[in-house]
Each structure stands twice: as structure tokens, then as C-alpha cells.
């Protein structure tokens, strides 16, 4: 779920930018914060879901353990 971390950091950066540039305007509400969190998680899960559904991991032992990602 690498995407969620990246999206969260992007949201934090955007919030800090708005706080600095528009410091006298209260721009963040609880509703907007909750919506941003839900959007980040839904987007992250939707981007990770195809990989979880259509890829499988194969283990092969030839003196050394090898991992392969194989599509169905």
C-alpha cells in the first residue's frame, strides 16, 4: 500500500502550503479532513487491488530461495 503513504504525504504538503499561503483563512474543516482520508484510502486500495487479485507469488528452491511474481 505504498500509494497510501505517498497520497498522505501529498495531502499533508498541500495542507501546509495552504496554511502558509492563506494563513488568515480557516480552510480546513473536520468534514473536509474526513473526506480526504477516505479518498486517500479508497484510491490506494483501488490501485493495489488489481495486483492483489491477478498476481501470485511462486517459490522455487534451487540452492537459493527464489520468489517470482506470476500473473494468472
In this predicted model, what pLDDT tens digit does every residue of 19-71 receive, in sequence order? 899 888 777 788 988 999 999 999 999 998 887 787 776 666 676 666 666 66
**pTM of the entire predicted model:** 0.66
Residue 72's pLDDT band, with cuts at 50, 70 and 90, is low
pLDDT given for residue 11 in this prediction: 92
Query: What is the C-alpha to C-alpha distance for residues 38 and 58, in angstroms, rounded to an integer?
Result: 33
What does the DSSP assignment read for 13-29? HHHHHHHHHTTTS----
13, pLDDT greater than 80: yes
pLDDT given for residue 41 in this prediction: 94
Amino acid at each position: 500500500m505504498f500509494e497510501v503513504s505517498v497520497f498522505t504525504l501529498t495531502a499533508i504538503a498541500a495542507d501546509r502550503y495552504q496554511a502558509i499561503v492563506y494563513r488568515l483563512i480557516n480552510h480546513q474543516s473536520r468534514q473536509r479532513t474526513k473526506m480526504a482520508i477516505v479518498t486517500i484510502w479508497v484510491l490506494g486500495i483501488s490501485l493495489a487491488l488489481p495486483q492483489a487479485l491477478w498476481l501470485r507469488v511462486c517459490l522455487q528452491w534451487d540452492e537459493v530461495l527464489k520468489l517470482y511474481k506470476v500473473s494468472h
